[in-house]
Structure 1
Amino acid sequence: MNVLYRLTATETKLFFREPTAVFFVLAFPSLLLVILGFVPPFREPNPDIGGLRVIDLYAPIVITMAVGLLSLNMLPQLFAAYREKGILRRMATTPVRPSALLGAQLAMAVTLSVGSALLILAVARLGFDVALPDNLAVYLLMYVLCLLAMLTLGLLIGSLAPTAKGAAAIGSILFFPVVFFAGLWLPREQMPEVLRRISDFTPLGAGVQSLQDATAGHWPQLLHVAVMLGWTIVAGALAARYFRWE
């Protein structure tokens, strides 16, 4: 545990030395929500989505987008850069085990993601009067499941990609379709049935719907819980299996 704590603290300090990464992980999602909130029709009740406002739908979408940015763009590139620069090779000569390194990366990413989500919720509530979750415990649980599913996917990319550029390319290729099915361009409620069904089987699509259900005070659908657990188990097992120090 001492090794895990030290690794996590070190990785977090290194992260905050990169202004670009700090901006896109912590500030950009909240800024995007502010921009969307300034669109007048998005602040008006829409009968096509049950009387909700579009900005109400975008709060969980932006939260999951922030998870995607961290998991698919920042984490794999950082991990692959360590391998490319020989940092992982040097760590392999120490008592540090792969599980400790993976755990430290996950702990850092979880901390940053929670901070980003809290900031988004604060902006949504204070700036646009978006309702806070009625079922907070379920909301937190679904957020954690969505986060774990995406982080393990990011670790899988980082475990396989030989270079930072390769990890960035793979992460970017995956990021855009994943956030599309999360509803960033078109909320799930306004998607055609075929697109919404595909979205149900993506980690962010399942995550968004689960967060929306918890916000309304409902329990999430078992399908969406199973999808997030499935992505976590499969991607996590593959990341641990194919992890390479160099």
Structure 2
Amino acid sequence: MSALARLTKTETKLFFREPSAVFFALAFQPILLIILGSIPAMREPDTALGGLRSIDLYVPIIIAMAIAMFSTSMLPQQFASYREKGVLRRMRTTPVKPSVMLNAQLLMCTSMSVGVMIVVLAIGRLAFKVNLPAQPLAYVLAYVLCTLAMFSIGLLVASLAPSGKGAGAIGTLLFFPVMFFGGLWAPRATMNDLLRHISDFTPLGAGVQSLQDATAGHWPQLLHVGVMVGWTIVAGGLAARYFRWE
């Protein structure tokens, strides 16, 4: 077994030893979808939404929420804690480079977020008759771009945070505004022009809209693709520039 596979397996075991982390990262989103779908008004077509139901709009929002949970909380807090405790420094004296730990964390977070996406899509379809993506390739593209953008932001937080607690605090402060513009409290279709315009230039706003477009059978708009790529390049570049192993 390669070093990357071993570290990924070990990090996954450590993750499942934290019940609160497991709940909020893996279980909270499907439960939230079930709660929202149980509200009769969420399952009624709305002319203000172009004939769609509110639950139809919330499936991609909840999928984006899972990405945000991993990228703003789990990933930066774990890495900042490892750096604070000297784990990364000690790894530099072994044949396994600290970059392998970084790749293991990214692989674990990506795999789990994909798992949440599959579960949410399955619940939405089987329980509430939410349409599956009419453009699967466009959906995958939107998901990958959104994940890259948000994980780049998470790595930037990890590179700047002085400690694990500091990373957690910064991640929490980031989570709520990015989810607001992603449509958690008010779907993008119900936002006024100003809020929707701001949302277009946020990673989750662009990501959610791209997922919704792919569900409807369209490819992501160039604006939203450019926004997600831009966040990936800028945040990823800054994270690479300021990341410290010790």
- Provide the C-alpha distance between the structure 1 equivalents of 2:27 and 2:184, rounded to a whole number of angstroms: 17
Q: CA deviation at 1:189?
A: 0.3
Aligned twin of 1:61: 61
Aligned twin of 1:181: 181
Which residue type is aligned with residue 224 of structure 1? H
Deviates more, 1:172-181 or 1:13-22: 13-22
- Provide the C-alpha distance between the structure 2 equivalents of 1:198 and 1:81, rounded to a whole number of angstroms: 33
- Provide the C-alpha distance between the structure 2 equivalents of 1:215 and 1:49, rounded to a whole number of angstroms: 15
Aligned twin of 1:206: 206
Q: CA deviation at 1:98?
A: 4.1
Which residue type is aligned with residue 13 of structure 2? K
Which residue type is aligned with residue 199 of structure 1? S
Secondary structure of 1:73's match?
helix
Secondary structure of 2:185's match?
coil
**Is residue 37 from structure 1 mapped to residue 37 from structure 2 by the alignment?**
yes
Q: CA deviation at 1:59?
A: 0.2
- Provide the C-alpha distance between the structure 2 equivalents of 1:222 and 1:101, rounded to a whole number of angstroms: 34
Which residue type is aligned with residue 222 of structure 1? L
* Structure 1: tracts of 5 or more residues without a match: none
* Structure 2: tracts of 5 or more residues without a match: none
- Give me the TM-score of the superposition, normalised by structure 2: 0.96
- Provide the C-alpha distance between the structure 2 equivalents of 1:7 and 1:162, rounded to a whole number of angstroms: 24
What per-residue deviation string (whole Å, max 9, x for no partner) do you get for residues 195-220 of structure 1? Answer: 00000010000000000000000111
Q: Alignment length, in residue pairs?
A: 246
Structural RMSD (CA): 1.2
- Provide the C-alpha distance between the structure 2 equivalents of 1:166 and 1:6, rounded to a whole number of angstroms: 28
Aligned twin of 1:16: 16
Question: Could you say if the C-alpha distance between residues 234 and 98 of structure 1 is closer, same or farther in structure 2, counting changes exceeding 3 Å?
Answer: farther
Secondary structure of 2:51's match?
coil
Q: CA deviation at 1:96?
A: 3.2
On the 8 A contact 2:26/2:112 being kept in 1, the answer is yes
Aligned twin of 1:224: 224
Secondary structure of 1:117's match?
helix
Q: CA deviation at 1:92?
A: 2.1
Percent of aligned pairs sharing the same letter: 67
